[in-house]
Amino acid sequence: MPMPDAAGQGEEWIAVEVAYARPDVQVILPVQLPRGATVADALRDSRITERFPEIDLEQAKVGIFGKLTRMDTELRPRDRVEIYRPLIADPKEVRRQRAAQGKPTKKGGASAADTG
């Protein structure tokens, strides 16, 4: 859908979403950007850091539909840019601790202690 820019010229725009979630709140913000815009452009135009000042866009991992990507990745119409929070615990270490305690894994499998 062409939209006029400030000079009155037609420019093609795309619609994308910026998503962020914490345990207490999840948001998906719609953003209109010119074709050729990047992940960084979407994050800036969404103004997500005004709503969630704890987000450090210099350090945050980002993705599009669950796949890690870079800030300079060009967006396509209807992409969902996701901001990922750092993990609280290393999943591999949590599994090791469960196995050491003889607890079953969440997938319903037996722990190492049960297979002996």
Q: Whole-model pTM?
A: 0.68
CATH at 74: 3.10.20.90
Total count of domains within the chain:
2
In a shared domain, residues 51 and 31: yes
In a shared domain, residues 8 and 46: yes
- The rounded distance, in Å, linking the Cα atoms of 82 and 61 is 9
pLDDT value for 37 = 97
In a shared domain, residues 8 and 42: yes
pLDDT digits (tens, 9 = 90+) for 32-81: 999 999 999 999 999 999 999 999 999 999 999 999 999 999 999 999 99
In a shared domain, residues 74 and 101: no
In a shared domain, residues 78 and 108: no
Q: Phi-psi region for residue 41, left (φ > 0), alpha (ψ -120 to 50) or beta?
A: alpha
Contact 98, 111 (CB under 8 A): yes
In a shared domain, residues 111 and 55: no
